[in-house]
Amino acid sequence: MSSLKRQLTLKDGISLAFGSVIGSGILFLPSLTYSLSGAYTLWVWILTILICIPLTYIFSDMVKYLPNESGIEGFISLGLGRHVGAAVPIIFLGTVSFGMPASAMIVGEYVKNFIGGGVEIQIITTMIIIFIGVLTNLFGIKTGASIQWAILIFIIIISTTLLLLVKPIPFGHAAFQFSLQKTVYLLPGIVVAFWAFAGFENLTFIAGEFKNPSRDIKISMFIALFLSGFLYLLLSESCASHIPHNNINPIAGLYQLSESVKSKQISTFIITIFAFFTVQINFNSWIWGISRLIYSSAKSGKLPFYFSSVNNRNIPARAVYLLTVNFSLILLISILFPHFLNSMLIVVSTNFVFIYFMCMAAYISIKKWCFLKLVAIGLLVLFIVLLFSSKWIVLYPFLLLIIGIICSRTYVKSSATTLQLQTD
């Protein structure tokens, strides 16, 4: 068993942070939030971005406590106990294993619609995204970071071109009038909008590979937050500007948007390319982060020791292969049960709110009284409200938490018994 090396710079951090945040929701969140919140969509994004600003401070503060690959898993262990912390990898696996294939399947839908063909085109596209994500992670840390940076530059260029084609109406139009009494329209939109910024916690798992984690992670998070948030806001505004609310497709809204403008062939081509690369950069970053979480948890005895090694390129390859198997199984289920996709999207959004809830609870437990602790208490209350607004779906992350705690306690007892027998 060897350790990860600190090789990442601020430039690498920006591409990884942007990749963690931007990809998975950009294809459907602009239209899904518009479908849920209608005239209040703009406020959904503004409020979600404002909520995430203190979150970036809190997550970067967590890294100061544990500047290694354990990330928020280690921090939650400090604040809420070892067994609760041990459940974090289970919760993330139960989240990312659904969310990433779902995003890739949506890209496959875009490609299928553009080039024609049947569901086999969608499946092949999904498999290509999974394969490239795995391969990028197995190339090595510096090569992978360079690939991420190249994709980031390309996304900025292609998204600028896209927004020029589907120009949003200026922010002040009457459709976005806001009233405090209309929170019933805001809360569902904010819950799913959190998918857009589910990535800050992923960056904490990569802290052990940064040369200067306490500085570079905070800067990377802020750049990713504002770049991604601004792009989401503009695309939601474009959906509201070009598509009547009763006609919006919640999942394929961006493709629908591209078909609503005059240069239909050009815009649909651009949106398809944009969809592919934004999900690809996201796939690369999340495999990177979660494989480090699995590696760290195995190294600390919270997951099987088998996953605690790195290969000759300093990559936790066994953890990468585990994610590959999970993605493939969920892809198979999605093929057999096509309607399963819509449920996956809502479940994943709720899971990320639950993860943030756990982070705030741990932060409040550890942190001395200060302004950030007061902010964390306010966010904790907000996340509780958001979780209750998810109704029965909130049972899924609680189930994962219970499974993780049971597995942790069983694993500890088993290890203690083995040690006792060896002693005797």
Q: For 76-107, write each residue's pLDDT tens digit.
A: 888 888 888 888 888 888 888 888 888 888 88
Q: Is residue 2 part of a domain?
A: no
Residue type, 384: I
* Between 369 and 2, residue with greater pLDDT: 369
Q: In this predicted model, what pLDDT tens digit does every residue of 7-54 receive, in sequence order?
A: 788 888 888 788 777 765 777 788 888 888 777 788 888 888 888 888
Between CA 146 and CA 137 the distance in angstroms is 11
Q: In this predicted model, what pLDDT tens digit does every residue of 383-392 receive, in sequence order?
A: 888 788 777 8
For the CA atoms of 32, 223, 205, 397, the dihedral, rounded to the nearest 10 degrees, stands at -20
CB 295 within 8 A of CB 322: no
pLDDT of residue 131: 92
Q: Contacts from 327-336 at CB under 8 Å and sequence distance 24+? A: 327/97, 327/100, 327/101, 327/104, 327/130, 328/130, 329/97, 330/97, 330/98, 330/101, 330/102, 331/101, 331/104, 331/105, 331/123, 331/126, 331/127, 331/130, 334/101, 334/102, 334/105, 335/119, 335/123
Count of C-beta atoms within a 10 Å radius of residue 399: 13
Which band of pLDDT confidence, cut at 50, 70 and 90, is reported for residue 330? confident
Q: In this predicted model, what pLDDT tens digit does every residue of 279-309 receive, in sequence order?
A: 888 888 888 888 888 888 888 777 788 888 8
Q: Is residue 251 part of a domain?
A: yes
The lowest-confidence range among 18-22, 57-61, 341-345, 369-373 is: 341-345
Q: Is residue 291 part of a domain?
A: yes
> Is pLDDT of 127 > 90?
yes
Q: Is residue 281 part of a domain?
A: yes
pTM of structure: 0.77
Between CA 317 and CA 2 the distance in angstroms is 13
- 340 CB burial (10 A radius; 0-12, 13-18, 19+): middle
The lowest-confidence range among 253-257, 324-328, 376-380 is: 253-257
At residue 373's C-alpha, the angle toward residues 46 and 65, to 5°, is 105
Mean per-residue pLDDT of the chain? 79
pLDDT of residue 172: 42
pLDDT of residue 129: 93
Q: Is residue 254 part of a domain?
A: yes
- The candidate with the shortest Cα–Cα distance to 360, out of 45, 62, 35, is 62
Which band of pLDDT confidence, cut at 50, 70 and 90, is reported for residue 332? confident
DSSP 135-204: HHHHS-HHHHHHHHHHHHHHHHHHHHHHHHHSPPPPTTSGGG---GGGHHHHHHHHHHHGGGGTTHHHHH
If one counts the domains in the chain, the total is: 1
> Is pLDDT of 171 > 50?
no
Q: Is residue 380 part of a domain?
A: yes
- The candidate with the shortest Cα–Cα distance to 58, out of 371, 344, 391, is 371
Alpha carbons within 13 A on the beta-carbon side of 211: 8
- Contacts for 225 with CB less than 8 Å, ≥ 6 apart: 21, 49, 52, 53, 56, 197, 200
> Is pLDDT of 1 > 60?
no
CATH of the domain at 26: 1.20.1740.10
Percent of the chain with pLDDT strictly greater than 90:
5
pLDDT of residue 2: 58
Find where tokens 């219970």 sit: 402
The lowest-confidence range among 195-209, 329-343, 387-401 is: 195-209
Q: Is residue 3 part of a domain?
A: no
pLDDT of residue 70: 62
Helices (H), 243-263: 253-258
* Domain of 203, in residue numbers: 10-423
Q: Is residue 378 part of a domain?
A: yes
Between CA 31 and CA 305 the distance in angstroms is 43
CB 347 within 8 A of CB 355: no
Q: In this predicted model, what pLDDT tens digit does every residue of 211-256 receive, in sequence order?
A: 887 788 888 888 888 888 888 888 888 888 878 878 877 766 777 7
